[in-house]
Amino acid sequence: MRTRARWRDVAQTAVQPFARRIDRDALVPEQVIDALRVAGAFASGFPETLGGPSGSAADPVVAALDHGAMHEAMGRASASVQGLLNVHHMGGSAVARWGNATQKDRWVPQLCSGSLLCGIAITEPDVGSDIAAVKTMAKATGGGFEITGEKAWITCGAAADLFVLVAASDGGPVALLLPKTTPGLHICPIDDMLGCRGYMMARLVLDGVWLPGDHVLGRSGFGTSHVAATGLESGRYNLGWGCVGLADAALGVAMDHVKTREQFGQPIGEFQLVQRLIATMMTDIHAARVMCESAGVARGQKALHATKEATMAKYFASQMVNRVARDAQQLLGAQGIGPDTPMAMYFRDARVMEVIEGTTQVLETMIARYGYAETMG
Ligand SMILES: Cc1cc2nc3c(=O)[nH]c(=O)nc-3n(C[C@H](O)[C@H](O)[C@H](O)COP(=O)(O)OP(=O)(O)OC[C@H]3O[C@@H](n4cnc5c(N)ncnc54)[C@H](O)[C@@H]3O)c2cc1C
């Protein structure tokens, strides 16, 4: 395992220098992916027995926090890169949890090394928050499934080698391992996203794809309630940390600015109204980090409340990063609005966070239900 300082060093040296280029080109360069492979970033969060970080089995709490530290560091360096690592882990954790021994042996070591990149394909043009309503149909035939439909807004869709695909079937929602080379799978890249442009988004069109029965994860009926749920819980945990890092990056730029920008004969950071914004941002970020740490401890302990904690951490952190990005941009004045600035990128990237891995409103309904369940007599 790596320490928080080590992840920060990896992110600062191998990712951050490319962040603006990633945003401009909507592409994560291969040399960044290679550096992440060497640093072990793709293995982070996987069980040690399947190729995850050495030492993680002995101390799962430290491992969960270390994984969070990796996402925080990447979120600070590039929200796009954090997002790629996030979906890789969302799909990968679903394979590691629900795959049978053969599936795990075949896929997980390659996911841990980063020689294969993973995505997770749930959303459809007509199906967003209500994931149990997926319409892409997996029809049992010839010992496997013939699959027809369309998946929308898939992060890493244009770059992933393997997708965890969630479809409808006669036995209920089913999750299947879908290699990108499968005949009948058409990958259509999506350009001009508002934020997180390096997510390398794509739409997936499945036109008579056939997958053998041994590509099913878990079993038919498990697709959303078990397999997608595992991926989404990982995603919420990872994204909470990513938001902390992204917010911290925006705060850092604002801090540098208010210390040097002079108006009315003094640095603007000397004005108390500016200090209030700085203090609010610092406290907001700290609160989100503490929530993520608490979620990490629960995750490492496999506590019953781990899912609720990850949901609450993501819910809070994704709104927090929008407050911080807005206030940090405000403190830069015109320089926060001007063309091709890091602050403009942080602001755009922050908008993505309240939509993915459960929108703010959908997470509110989930959190309230956790509360109702806990208080049932
Ligand atoms: C950058 C990006 C990356 C993404 N990556 C992936 C990916 O890798 N894989 C994948 O499968 N999907 C991905 N998605 C899709 C994402 O998961 C969905 O956008 C998200 O689940 C919301 O669905 P929707 O956009 O269809 O919005 P809708 O579900 O149509 O919601 C629209 C609005 O209605 C509100 N709403 C909906 N239901 C309720 C409710 N019950 N109560 C209150 N309000 C409600 C929502 O909060 C939202 O404000 C990505 C999306 C983006 C933008």
Show Cβ contacts of residue 321 under 8 Å, excluding neighbours closer than 6 positions.
243, 244, 246, 247, 250, 288, 350, 353
For residue 321 and ligand 1, the question of a CB distance below 6 A is answered with no
For residue 159 and ligand 1, the question of a CB distance below 6 A is answered with no
Q: Note the pLDDT tens digit of each residue in 275-319.
A: 999 999 999 999 999 999 999 999 999 999 999 999 999 999 999
For ligand 1, the distance from its centroid to the CA atom of residue 211, given in whole angstroms, is: 27
Q: Are both 137 and 188 inside the same structural domain?
A: yes
Q: Are both 235 and 353 inside the same structural domain?
A: yes
More confident residue, 377 or 187: 187
Q: What is the pLDDT of residue 133?
A: 96
Q: Residue 118: count other Cβ atoms within 10 Å of its Cβ.
A: 28
Q: How far apart are CA 111 and CA 356, in angstroms?
A: 22
Q: Are both 238 and 178 inside the same structural domain?
A: no
Q: Are both 184 and 195 inside the same structural domain?
A: yes
The pLDDT of 131-148, averaged and rounded, is 97
Q: Ligand 1 atom 39: the closest Cα is on which residue? A: 362
Domain holding 43, by residue range, is 4-116
Q: What is the pLDDT of residue 377?
A: 66
For ligand 1, the distance from its centroid to the CA atom of residue 121, given in whole angstroms, is: 13
Q: Are both 340 and 232 inside the same structural domain?
A: yes
Task: Report the b/e string of 335-356 with b at 16+ CB within 10 A.
Answer: ebeeeebbbbbbbbbbebbbeb
- Last residue of one domain, picked from the residues 51, 81, 116: 116
For residue 364 and ligand 1, the question of a CB distance below 6 A is answered with no
What DSSP designation does 162 have?
E
Q: Are both 194 and 265 inside the same structural domain?
A: no
Say yes or no to pLDDT of 54 above 90. Answer: yes
Q: What is the pLDDT of residue 1?
A: 56
Token duo for residue 300: 């490492």
Q: How far apart are CA 248 and CA 58, in angstroms?
A: 31
Q: Are both 175 and 83 inside the same structural domain?
A: no
Q: Which atom of ligand 1 is closest in space to residue 87's alpha carbon?
A: 8
Q: Are both 96 and 132 inside the same structural domain?
A: no
The pLDDT of 168-197, averaged and rounded, is 97
For residue 80 and ligand 1, the question of a CB distance below 6 A is answered with no
For residue 123 and ligand 1, the question of a CB distance below 6 A is answered with yes
Q: Are both 109 and 10 inside the same structural domain?
A: yes
For residue 318 and ligand 1, the question of a CB distance below 6 A is answered with no
Q: Note the pLDDT tens digit of each residue in 73-103.
A: 999 999 999 999 999 999 999 999 999 999 9
Which band of pLDDT confidence, cut at 50, 70 and 90, is reported for residue 2?
low
For ligand 1, the distance from its centroid to the CA atom of residue 320, given in whole angstroms, is: 19
How many independent structural domains does the chain possess? Answer: 3
Whichever domain contains 197, its CATH number is 2.40.110.10
For ligand 1, the distance from its centroid to the CA atom of residue 185, given in whole angstroms, is: 23
- Choose the weakest-confidence range: 259-263, 314-318, 373-377: 373-377
Q: Are both 364 and 245 inside the same structural domain?
A: yes
Q: Which atom of ligand 1 is closest in space to residue 130's alpha carbon?
A: 29
Whichever domain contains 90, its CATH number is 1.10.540.10
Q: Residue 75: count other Cβ atoms within 10 Å of its Cβ.
A: 32
Show Cβ contacts of residue 13 under 8 Å, excluding neighbours closer than 6 positions.
none
For residue 121 and ligand 1, the question of a CB distance below 6 A is answered with yes
- Last residue of one domain, picked from the residues 97, 116, 135: 116
For the chain, the maximum distance between any two Cα atoms, rounded to a whole number of angstroms, is 79
Q: Are both 251 and 340 inside the same structural domain?
A: yes
State the chain's mean pLDDT as an integer.
97
Q: Note the pLDDT tens digit of each residue in 317-328.
A: 999 999 999 999
Q: Note the pLDDT tens digit of each residue in 217-240.
A: 999 999 999 999 999 999 999 999
For ligand 1, the distance from its centroid to the CA atom of residue 235, given in whole angstroms, is: 14
For residue 129 and ligand 1, the question of a CB distance below 6 A is answered with yes
Q: Ligand 1 atom 1: the closest Cα is on which residue? A: 352
Q: Ligand 1 atom 50: the closest Cα is on which residue? A: 153
pTM flag (> 0.85): yes
Q: Are both 228 and 357 inside the same structural domain?
A: yes
Q: Which atom of ligand 1 is closest in space to residue 196's alpha carbon?
A: 1
In testing the pocket of ligand 1, which one of 81, 122, 123 has its CB within 8 Å of the most ligand atoms?
123
- Last residue of one domain, picked from the residues 92, 116, 140: 116
Identify the three-state secondary structure at position 204: strand
The pLDDT of 186-213, averaged and rounded, is 97
For residue 216 and ligand 1, the question of a CB distance below 6 A is answered with no
What DSSP designation does 189 have?
E
The radius of gyration computed from the CA coordinates of the chain, to the nearest angstrom, equals: 21
For ligand 1, the distance from its centroid to the CA atom of residue 310, given in whole angstroms, is: 18
Say yes or no to pLDDT of 207 above 80. Answer: yes
